[in-house]
Homo-oligomer: A and B are copies of this chain.
Amino acid sequence: MKHIVIFAFLMLSFLASAQQQVEKWKVIEVILNGPNNGNPFVENNISAVFTTAGHSDTIAGFYDGNGKYKVRFSPAIEGKWTYQTISNVKALNGKKGAFVCTPALKENHGPVVVKDTFHFAYADGKPHFSFGTTCYAWVHQGDSLANLTLKTLSNGYFNKMRMCIFPKDYDWNKNEPELYPFEGKPLKDWDYTRFNPAYFRNIEKRIQQLDSMGIEADLIVFHPYDRWGFKDMGMAVNEFYIKYIIARFAAFKNVWWSMANEYDFMNSLKTEDWDKIIRLFAENDPYNRLRGIHNGAKWYDHTNPLLTHASIQNEDTYKAKELRKKYKKPVVYDECRYEGNVPWSWGNLTPQEMINKFWRGITNGGFAGHGETYVMEDPVKWPSESDDILWWSKGGVLRGQSAERIKFAKGIVEQSPGQLSPYPLFFDWAPFSAVAYKDEYILAYLNLDQPKSAFINTLPKNTSYKADIIDTWNMTITPVEGELKGTVLIQLPQKPGIVIRFIKSNSK
């Protein structure tokens, strides 16, 4: 197993004077005591300039309630750093300190960034192959269920989680959250000038728990499934909220920003509002964390240069190849329908088809995302009246059969010595697809078809390969006898879901 699960998370917090250490890409916090009268959220500001040799970062802080002001910083440069705070409050202004940024330890590869146009990689260069899942409202279900969700995630199926910052109102998710993001009371009596820090601390805890398992937190900033009014706050409040979550969350290296789930289903926001929201993140997030925007029916224009990748809802994951060309970005089918049995068509894939969508995405140069929507009650209830716990909404346990196979797929892909790009192993008209790292590691996928043989005459000339028959459903890897070269006919098990892997033989 790759990631060791450490629920106890190390955060180096300290006051002004003590010399401290922080691991590269992890978080150091400057915590200051200040006034708690008036409305500190709107009246008082706090930021700090962090400086190392030849470089400085100016980082906005936030008010955390009870007179505590915090500036969170994640240094990307090793060595000695100093900082000095800036505030309109005298007690918070001009505070100085110093710390040392130490090298990243073994499992710390830094934040995920875009690399070579089409790929994701961690900051240290290690490829990041995206294998995400979705638990929209898991952070709003209380500790007991959240811990169960984390236990499920600790099995290493996924390396990204799509999750909403705001609570969710939808079929199978009619319960109230334990906390609310603003002061006030439900349903709609909110003071939009005062955040509820406890609400955000809970989310931070979850973000860090995910990070400790090597899971990216794809934070959904807005979404339409709401009964509390958070989808209709107006752009002024939206901006206030965005700056607050940047100040709180952006320092965590596993944070991605998803502007919305199904942006186009939010009637109160127009395209120019979304453009502005994207720009707010680009201009205010000092770490430039990944930015995507997820569609319902109408795709966003992912050529927007401020979007780092194309985040797509669509089931045709095999079109990743053409979307890469169109957008010139990494392509993630964050929602390609879910494994489950609900009456809504987005949530009743067989596990076989869920896995198929993953492999079609992968072998067309993109990535797919998982979700699971099994209702267990019998007889079934009306969706709006069921309180069943579905992974896609609340987390908990997985009831399906795709997660294990996604983990298996992740393992195969991560064995690649480098990034995978579409590879012309098949004729253009063939529905089959292949990706490769150079001509060294080729993954060819035959969909849910059942050929008894593969005829391949497009391997690089004068190059020998070892091949494996990978059964993506039964999770077996069977070596093909001998070395392959030139035009080959490979006998197959006549089953759906076969990948043929070619690994270039050592030339020695």
A positions within 8 Å CB-CB of B: 297, 315, 340-345, 348-350, 353, 375, 379-380, 382-383, 426-427, 429-432, 446, 448-455, 489, 491, 494, 496
- Contact status A451-B348, CB under 8 Å: yes
In the assembled complex, the Cα of A478 lies from the Cα of B112 at a distance in Å of: 52
- Contact status B380-A349, CB under 8 Å: no
In the assembled complex, the Cα of A453 lies from the Cα of B430 at a distance in Å of: 35
- Contact status B341-A489, CB under 8 Å: no
30 contacts between A and B (CB under 8 A): A297-B429, A341-B451, A341-B453, A341-B494, A342-B451, A342-B453, A343-B451, A343-B452, A343-B453, A343-B455, A343-B489, A345-B426, A345-B429, A345-B430, A348-B446, A348-B449, A348-B450, A348-B451, A349-B449, A350-B449, A350-B450, A350-B496, A353-B448, A353-B449, A375-B452, A379-B491, A380-B452, A380-B453, A380-B489, A380-B491
Could you say how many copies of this chain the assembly holds?
A: 2
Residues of chain B within 8 A (CB-CB) of A348 are 446, 449-452
Residues of chain B within 8 A (CB-CB) of A375 are 452
In the assembled complex, the Cα of A169 lies from the Cα of B471 at a distance in Å of: 35
In the assembled complex, the Cα of A375 lies from the Cα of B492 at a distance in Å of: 13
Residue of B nearest to A345 (CB): B430
- Contact status A382-B449, CB under 8 Å: no
Residues of chain B within 8 A (CB-CB) of A432 are 345
Of the candidates B297, B350, B382, B452, the one whose C-beta lies within 8 Å of that of A489 is B382
How near does chain B come to A303, taking the closest CB pair, in angstroms? 23
How near does chain B come to A297, taking the closest CB pair, in angstroms? 6
How near does chain B come to A294, taking the closest CB pair, in angstroms? 15
- Contact status A452-B341, CB under 8 Å: yes
In the assembled complex, the Cα of A453 lies from the Cα of B449 at a distance in Å of: 28
